[in-house]
Amino acid sequence: MSQPLDRDCFSGSEPLMTLGAALALLCARIRPVVGIERLPLEAALGRILAADIVAGFDVPGHDNAAVDGYAVYGEDLNPTGETRLPIAGRAAAGHPLAGLQARGTAVRIFTGAMMPAGLQAAPGPDTVAMQEECRIEEGTVVIPAGLERGRNRRRRGEDIRAGRKILEAGQRLRPQEIGLAAAAGQAVIPLRARLRVALFSTGDELAEPGQPLGAGTIHDSNRYVLGALLRQSGAAVGDLGILPDRPDAVRLALQVAARDHDLLLTSGGVSSGEEDHVKAALLSMGRLHVWRLAIKPGRPVALGQIDAADRAVPFIGLPGNPVAAMVTYLRIARPLILGLMGAKDLEPVRYRLPAAFALRKKRDRREFLRGWVETDGNGRQRLQRFEQESSAILTSMTAAAGLIEIAEDVTEVAPGDLLDFLPFAEMR
């Protein structure tokens, strides 16, 4: 049976595991479970590269002008006074000089145009005088003193050298990586397929948005939050909707979803209550390794595996409160999802900034505050927090720009203390 994760990957003898230990274990054991497909560059944004890309040629493929101006031989320049040279031709991008450039002449050249070749065996023109610094007099260009040899010329291969690895397998492609692949002549590239994730909610108290609410019911928001986060991470989402609080319905839904999905994800329903049927279903169909993480919010995070016909399908159960569900998705589920798709860089970008607030917290627990960066009257940036700490207040996540992460050994924060800030924009 194919195992996307080691059988004991999520086991731990300690009742509470630190986030750092959990992530280290996760990153050490995870491996890709999705295949490879070759797609055009237009379909590559946010996808994970499946193989290294090596340049087959230099970029640029020739010396060229960095500015509009006049191509000259550096040896022809007068170091102490003006230099006057006849204009012997014209070179534009895609339209090189027709012929060779003789010593003692200048060629009108435009940005990106190939530098002319010289008549002699020695290197040809090597310098470009900016047009703004020159003047034209009766078919000659007058260049002021002080132009250094080699200025305003881009050299062949200064961006990419033939044979160099320009993109590495496991990179998640941004617009700049896609542009680099295009510059290297790659029209179609190998990408990891999207992870197929089955997403569902459980609970008779849940109603779909748009439906009227009955007594004691609420609209299901977590499934929409998590669905959006999954798509943002590059996964393909299969929405199973809301499952009723019936053990047989939950078990059947998980069994069917495991046949054609790579991961199952839910929020709530994996505690030890009488109505938490997801946990019982998982135990009857595979394994559930519960991580009781030493974090706030989001201590109840469940990871396990469901045994399908020929493989074990990972399962992630996130807390039911919306803020806790988002926090644990970003810090636990997102690295797992990216790793299952072959990504190498699983940790979010963080910035170290001074706090604008005071706080006391428990030792041996990592805490996540909802916050943003503010600028004071002196132009200094500081971290400000959302005062309400309840993990049920989803509006706090819309007010925040990211998470403020406070380490386990910190028990008190004073204004000016440096803390880690994880912007939401960097956790896509």
Q: What is the pLDDT of residues 256-310, one digit of tens each?
A: 999 999 999 998 765 555 556 777 888 888 887 766 789 999 888 888 889 887 8
What is the fold, at CATH topology level, of the domain defined by 351-426?
Beta-clip (2.40.340)
CA distance 140 to 85: 5
- For residue 278, what pLDDT is reported? 78
Q: 274: which 2 tokens?
A: 């009488």
pLDDT above 70 for 134? yes
Whole-prediction pTM value? 0.87
pLDDT attached to residue 224: 96
Give the separation between CA 231 and CA 422, rounded to whole angstroms.
Answer: 20
Q: Indicate whether 5 pLDDT > 60.
A: no
Annotated domain spans of the chain = 19-35+194-341, 64-154, 351-426
Q: Which class does domain 19-35+194-341 fall in?
A: alpha beta
> pLDDT of 315-330, one tens digit each?
998 988 999 999 999 9
CA distances from 413 to 170, 349, 372, 380 (A): 37, 22, 16, 19
Q: Looking at this protein, which amino acid is placed at residue 109?
A: I
CATH superfamily of 64-154: Molybdopterin biosynthesis moea protein, domain 3. (2.170.190.11)
Q: What is the pLDDT of residue 11?
A: 44
pLDDT, residue 275, reads 54
- From CA 269, how far away is CA 202, in angstroms rounded? 7
Reported in sequence order, the residue ranges of 73-167 that DSSP labels E, i.e. its strands, are: 83-91, 106-109, 127-130, 135-137, 140-143, 153-154, 165-167
- Alpha-carbon distance 43 to 145, whole Å? 51
Bridge partners, 360 (sequence order): 412
Task: Give the model confidence (pLDDT) of 189-248 as tens digits.
Answer: 999 999 999 999 988 889 999 999 999 899 999 999 999 999 999 999 999 999 888 888
**Which residue from 197, 198, 222, 196 is spatially nearest to 209, judged by alpha carbons?**
222
In this structure, is the dihedral angle defined by the CA atoms of residues 284, 287, 293 and 296, taken in order, positive or negative? negative
